[in-house]
Amino acid sequence: MKIGTDIIAINRIESAIEKFGDSFKQRFLCEDEIKFAKKSASIAGLWAAKEAISKAFGCGIGGELGFYDIIISKNSKGAPRFELSEKVAPNFPHTNSSLSISHDGGFAIAVVVIGE
């Protein structure tokens, strides 16, 4: 079992969106993620989730696993879940996973548990 966590100040995301606009979101979110993450708190949650996932896999965001390689969606009950792109999935085998994203008090946090 592997675990990863990340926390980010929502105002950091708000500042980046104000400075760079939609191009900031396009740097780390796929098209479908942009569609369901409208508020800055939700966008910050997705940032934290992708960071947490990469930490759980032990590599961080970089050459082995990029932001676009992690695809976050919601299940039928609205809970977050993730998949890896076909390009990197064979390099990060796992049997199951659980992702939780929350935001409050100006921060967004994500925790992921990945079964081997």
From the candidates 35, 38, 39, 55, give the one annotated as an active-site residue.
55
Catalytic: 103?
Answer: yes
Contacts of 19 by beta carbon, 8 Å cutoff, 6+ apart: none
Instruction: Return the amino acid letter for 109.
Output: I
What DSSP character marks residue 68?
G
Distances (CA, A) of 20 to 26, 38, 59, 78, 104: 10, 16, 27, 29, 24
**Catalytic site positions:** 55, 103
